[in-house]
Amino acid sequence: MSAASERFVPALGLGNPHLQTLWGPLWRKTTHIARERERLWLEDGDFLDLDWHGPHRVDAPLVLVLHGLTGSSNSPYVAGLQQALGSQGWASVALNWRGCSGEPNLLPRSYHSGASEDLAAAIAHLRARRPLAPLFAVGYSLGGNVLLKHLGETGDDSQLQGAVAVSVPFRLDQCADRIGQGFSRFYQAHFMREMVAYVRNKQRQFQHDGRHEGLATLTALGSLENMRTFWDFDGRVTAPLHGFSDAADYYRRASSRYFLGRISTPTLVIQACDDPFVFPHSLPEPGELSASTQLELHAQGGHVGFVDGSLRRPGYYLERRIPSWLAGL
């Protein structure tokens, strides 16, 4: 564990973890940046959409940015980081997980917290496109969990020079419990609406496109009614679509906490003690971390919040800290 080089102090009036968490999606002004979209076709016939920003130099440092659950490349924290990286002369690529770019993906399966095979495909593609560029990755929440899992699975062969993970749900089972408590049930209800709508939208698209086999797979999931918890959704949708026996099996095999000890890539993890999605006991103990991993634990910050400055002139700690730490590598 390590103290940050700059201690995070929340903006006056935003000390509450829920205000920190909700500031970005509800009140942050839109970050407008120029981006170019590229479609990456995967071996199974599906696709990922990649949104490029920054210089086109072959040797410019390149950062792959991974959004969280029900997010996209348009999530405020993604666009904000891409803008910050561009201002220091770095290129970046925001990955949209399957079905998150505004267009349903082509297979019944989608994305989930353990989808490290899709991350590996994106990394291999970027390595081939820009072989001279130092390559880094930054993942938020679900994206951070996938990133840490990939780093642990690949060890010395991660193909990355460095990585940063923010607000990580290290133990998915425990986080599924935590988000069902207190005010956090507000987030749970939001995610349930979004994820069920995601499946229903895909069903309609498959019906329209005549994708009968895929539609039959989705129909076989049964009713999408009365899904109130992550345990409900992951047991009835995520697990059967992605080869897990049940929600507990998915959580066990996809939780990044079980992969931390095998990480050899220089890695920074930024976490808040008051994260309303993560129990304090879900955080890894120092002995679970590899020698290449640095955990910065802040007293406050919420979940992918870390808003400082003032209400009139908010600042974004992550968009200073992450580019600075990567540049230091």
Please identify every residue annotated as catalytic.
Answer: 141, 275, 303
Max CA-CA distance within the chain? 55
Query: For residue 107, what are the contacts with CB-CB under 8 A and spacing of at least 6?
Result: 44, 45, 46, 98, 214
Would you state the structure tokens that stand for residue 252, as one six-digit string? 């066990």
Say if CB 219 and CB 207 are below 8 A apart.
Answer: no
Round to the nearest angstrom and report the end-to-end CA distance of the chain: 18
* DSSP at 2: B
Query: For residue 193, what are the contacts with CB-CB under 8 A and spacing of at least 6?
Result: none
Going along 105-173, which residue ranges are E strands?
Answer: 135-140, 162-166
Query: For residue 131, what are the contacts with CB-CB under 8 A and spacing of at least 6?
Result: none
Say if CB 78 and CB 71 are below 8 A apart.
Answer: yes
How many separate helices (H) and strands (E) can be counted in the chain?
Answer: 11, 10
Would you state the structure tokens that stand for residue 322, as one six-digit string? 């992450």
Distance CA 230, CA 153 (A): 25
